[in-house]
Structure 1
């Protein structure tokens, strides 16, 4: 893309996210990606609680991106931020909620995508024996996926992160359990220690590339994307509106041109099982 070709793009990360982000952006946009030296994203919050993240994921990603751009004097940047917890609609399942933000100061562009995925090994538990710990880590993909040990959920004075060997796991557990009857074990959700999360970030990066390559039909500005979804797909049986998506509303952030695309999921009616009238 000529608007980005051969421009330097800073990736705001200290957790190796460039491994999945840079190849996609360089191939599709023609940019030259780099990571800033000694850039500590932990100042905006850590997963283990030493530094509390004071703002939401998107605001934090934006701040992270702008800090990296300022530090490197680069007018093109990208950052991601994730959060983990119950899925917003499937409450019994954990979810990885990733935001990716692309900022172009030269052209006054800010392009954002979100990837909400059920594909996560996010887990935490209080354990009272090494065998309990072994059972837990086997279920979260250890040792390919790292784990963290600490004395309590909120006690962060002694935390062992990035554990990816059975030897270190046992050694760390013995040290913590010597001073406490219980130990908290949790998955290390930093991207470089969590291949499952890294795949979700890669998926978000692919979505971002597609959005950047979507141009406004009126002014040709990149990033012409969905700003609102509209429910109301009609039930196949009774014809009543359902909560399923009927259309997507696209908007250009530069000229504000809007376009409504009907039936984005390629179906014009909904199965009665999703109808409150037919299946209350």
Structure 2
């Protein structure tokens, strides 16, 4: 279905470095990137262009618009969001989504991965000492940073800073003109090796999902549609909120299949039982 076709990787941040080798080897496609569509028009991490849609809607638009601009029918795109972890309190997270779209065969496969392995951070500061303490904490210079005059409605912005010389030059400019500076981690993949590593993991997860075919019609992308709770407590046997099974569904023929005990656990610890430990 995919062998010999060209696969567009919709990025301007060098994500093809980790995505292309995975898909070229497994699907026998020819990956390419293009400048005909600027993915930054849908939003930037630095804030000069606000992302107006949800991460999923932006992801789909990125893929569709890139395909239209390049007159191709096979593409991959990814979208990252950074902030507080959706479950774990006081933890920051990198929420990465990736899409594989084949308009010729009407295939859309989407995967998601949330990781706490991120250097995402930002702060306002006024002294060189505070600046150096911040950049050391976020793994500068292997990881780039952004400097601007304020968090919002800023008049000056410097992106992709990954040398001490440029860091101090731009910082001194902001202090001289605005009295303070706002520094944040540059979360673009080519300036953030930690994020690039997660993108590679997500790409591998996407490939695995594509290769998982529907047992009924052999359509690619047979994936989890529902997570079913109810794993029984090992003490009282009452259903808990832990995962009992996954329901897989084919997007083409709607065939469903239940995978019992997907985490290789048949009972849950009473600690997580609302009856034993209310």
Q: Given the two structures, how large is their TM-score scaled by the length of structure 1?
A: 0.97
Equivalent residues of 2:37, 2:65 under 8 A apart:
no
For 2:256 and 2:166, locate their aligned partners in 1 and report how far apart those are by CA, in whole Å. Answer: 56
What residue in structure 2 maps to residue 191 of structure 1?
A: 189
Between stretches 31-40 and 12-21, larger displacement belongs to: 31-40
How big is the shift at 1:38? 4.3
SS at match of 1:179: helix
What residue in structure 2 maps to residue 256 of structure 1?
A: 254
Over residues 95-145 of structure 1, what are the superposed CA-to-partner deviations in whole Å (9 max), with x where a residue is unaligned?
101110111011110000001111111001111211101111111110000
Over residues 220-261 of structure 1, what are the superposed CA-to-partner deviations in whole Å (9 max), with x where a residue is unaligned?
000000011011111111212211111001000000000111
Between stretches 268-277 and 16-25, larger displacement belongs to: 268-277
Match of 2:29 among 28, 31, 46: 31
Between stretches 269-278 and 16-25, larger displacement belongs to: 269-278
SS at match of 1:189: coil
CA RMSD of aligned residues (A): 1.0
What residue in structure 2 maps to residue 159 of structure 1?
A: 157
Aligned residue-pair number: 278
Q: Given the two structures, how large is their TM-score scaled by the length of structure 2?
A: 0.98
1:47-196 pair list within 5 angstroms:
47-196=45-194
Over residues 164-209 of structure 1, what are the superposed CA-to-partner deviations in whole Å (9 max), with x where a residue is unaligned?
0111111111000112232111000001000000011111100000
What residue in structure 1 maps to residue 275 of structure 2?
A: 277
Q: Which runs of 4+ in 1 moved over 4 A?
A: none
Unaligned runs of 5+ in 1: none
For 2:36 and 2:184, locate their aligned partners in 1 and report how far apart those are by CA, in whole Å. Answer: 27
